[in-house]
Each structure stands twice: as C-alpha cells, then as structure tokens.
Amino acid sequence: MTKSEILTALRESGGYVSGQELCEKLQVSRTAVWKKMKQLQEEGYEIEAVPNRGYRIVACPDIIAAEEVESRLCTRRMGHPVVYYEEVTSTNQVLKKLAEEGAPEGTLVTADAQNQGKGRAGRVWMIQPGANIAMSLLLRPQISPARISMVTLVMGLAVTCACRELYGVDAGIKWPNDVVINGKKICGILTEMSMELMAVNYVVIGTGINVNETEFPEEIRDKATSLQLEMGRKLGRAELMACCMKYFEEFYDQFLSTGDLSLLQEQYNGLLLNRNRGVRVLEPGREYSGVALGINKDGQLLVEKEDGSQTAVYAGEVSVRGVYGYV
C-alpha cells in the first residue's frame, strides 16, 4: 500500500471513507491504514477521522511529491510514472537521461526547484523552491521528426485549457506556445528531440508554469505574471499538473490520429491572442509586419502581409511580437 493509493481512495470517495473500506480495497490491516494516515498528517495533510464514519481529506499542503500528483491523475499514460526531485539542474536534462535508460512514454519528471532550466534563446529558467511548476514529459511517438514541433503547441493548448477549467481565468495563447493572462506570460515550453537515422527516438517536453511566484526580475516584470498574482490567492501545483496531463493526453491522441493539428486547429485558434491582430515577424536577416489569421493544420502561423499576400510562419528561430508590445 502506497501513500498514493491512500490519497486516491480518499479523493475518489468525495467524503468520508471507512477504515474497513480502505482495508478491503487496499488489502491491508487497519493498523497499516492508521500508520499511513499518521504519515500523511505529519507531511501537512489535514485528515479528519470520525468514529463510525471514517476518514476524509480536509486540506492538502502545496506539495508535488510523486504520491500527491499520482493520486490526482485520471490519465491512462501521461504522468505514469511520476519521478520527483527536490532540486535539479533541469527537469529536461534529468528526463533525457531516464529516456536513454529506457523510461516509458508518459514518464513525468517534476522538481520543487530548478537552477539551470533553459528558456527561449538560451535564457536560464530558474524555479524557486515551492513556488512554481517545472515538469518534463517523455513521449515516444512513431511519427516523422518534421512533425514534432507541433507537440509543443499541443502542450500550450493543454496548459491553457487546464488554467481555464480550474481557475476560470481568461488564459490565451501567444503563438506558438506561450500561455498568457492579461497580456503577461505565465508559461513557457521547451521541446527537445532525440533522433536516430531520421526516426524519432524520444521527445521531452519541458513546461514551466508560474503558479505562486510573487516577484519577477525588473527586466521581465512587464511581460511575466503568475497565477497567484492574477487570482489573488495561493494555488495547488499538483492539481494543475494533473489537469495539464488530462488535457495533454486527450489532445495528443487527437494529434497522433491525424499526424497534424487539424482536429485541434479550431480550438487552438479560438484561444489564440494573436489572431486578427497586427504582428511583427522577426526572422533572421529580415522583419515584416502583417495581420495574424490563425494557424494552419501544421501549426504554422498564417500572416497576411501589408501587400495583401499570405505567408505561413514556422516556429523555431522566428519571433512574433505584437505591433505595440509582447502580445
């Protein structure tokens, strides 16, 4: 019997669950159940025990240990298993090593703190202890390497939908995969791929979400925010991670069924903040302006230039900015 199994049973009950029910479901003694409850209470879980009614969870600490995340998952593959560390250089680095050692698709690495994470254009993405989400998900898709960039958009869509469902916030997407609330970024995604003989060996999607961060460096303060700053209260990270996995699995399966974003295109464009707005496209060696029309089935941003012609912008080294600011 694991703490994850106890937590799952308590959450599935929706209220009180008797000690006898737990014993029968988990095939353990009442003493074993009592010991696990004491362990959970020592870790910060508020668990109520009432004679003739049983146990129920009253409150949970904001922790992202494997048992806490696993007990919230409703997925078949994504997030199985969860591998948790207190601190890492980068969750992507750790997961790439596990992938090379044969870890299965769906393995999720998460850490309470990260000190050498990579952001766009080589920037460092630091995660302070206990504040935010740093997670990396392992995929082993049987598709062409040329299609892989689209899974980054799939994750961006999943995070956006999870934030909207859990918190009712008006989250949107800045193409290709930044999640934005009130004009400021809360999430960045970095996808890395390993190839052999022009076939995909594995893909690692690293996702950083500003959850309970309250202070940002001056140079990004006008572009970055957190869910706590927007909601005005501290939020549970494990719940958000599990919800992201739920949406990602659903959207990823749709992506695999067609090999493109055709089944997700309408939903993505409905959340695309750039759509029907003026943008500046910054490509190596050239720059031009136009109006973003939305993505096509391959995840490229369709832009109508000032001369009326249309072009499809690839993600990668291209940067798209709003004419008057970040979005």
Lowest mean pLDDT among 14-23, 61-70, 117-126: 117-126
Share of the chain above pLDDT 90, in %: 64
pLDDT in tens, 22-70: 888 888 888 888 888 899 999 899 999 888 888 999 998 999 999 999 9
The CATH T-level fold of domain 3-59 is: Arc Repressor Mutant, subunit A (1.10.10)
- 3-state SS string over the chain? CCHHHHHHHHHHHCCCECHHHHHHHHCCCHHHHHHHHHHHHHCCCEEEEECCCEEEEEECCCCCCHHHHHCCCCCCCCCCCEEEEEEECCHHHHHHHHHHCCCCCCCEEEEEEEEEEECHHHCEEEECCCCCEEEEEEECCCCCHHHCHHHHHHHHHHHHHHHHHHHCCCCEEECCCEEEECCEEEEEEEEEEEEECCEEEEEEEEEEECCCCCCCCHHHCCCECCHHHHHCCCCCHHHHHHHHHHHHHHHHHHHHHHCCCCCCHHHHHHHECCCCCEEEEEECCEEEEEEEEEECCCCCEEEEECCCCEEEECCCCCEEEECCECC
Sorted by where each begins, the domain ranges of the chain are 3-59, 66-270, 274-322
pLDDT in tens, 271-322: 999 999 999 888 888 888 899 999 999 999 999 998 899 999 987 656 776 6
Q: What is the pLDDT of residue 198?
A: 83
- pLDDT of 106 > 70? The answer is yes
Q: What is the pLDDT of residue 142?
A: 93
Question: What mean pLDDT comes out for the span 225-251?
Answer: 96
Domain 66-270 architecture: 2-Layer Sandwich (3.30)
pLDDT in tens, 167-219: 999 999 999 999 999 999 999 999 999 998 789 999 999 999 999 999 888 88
CATH number corresponding to 274-322: 2.30.30.100
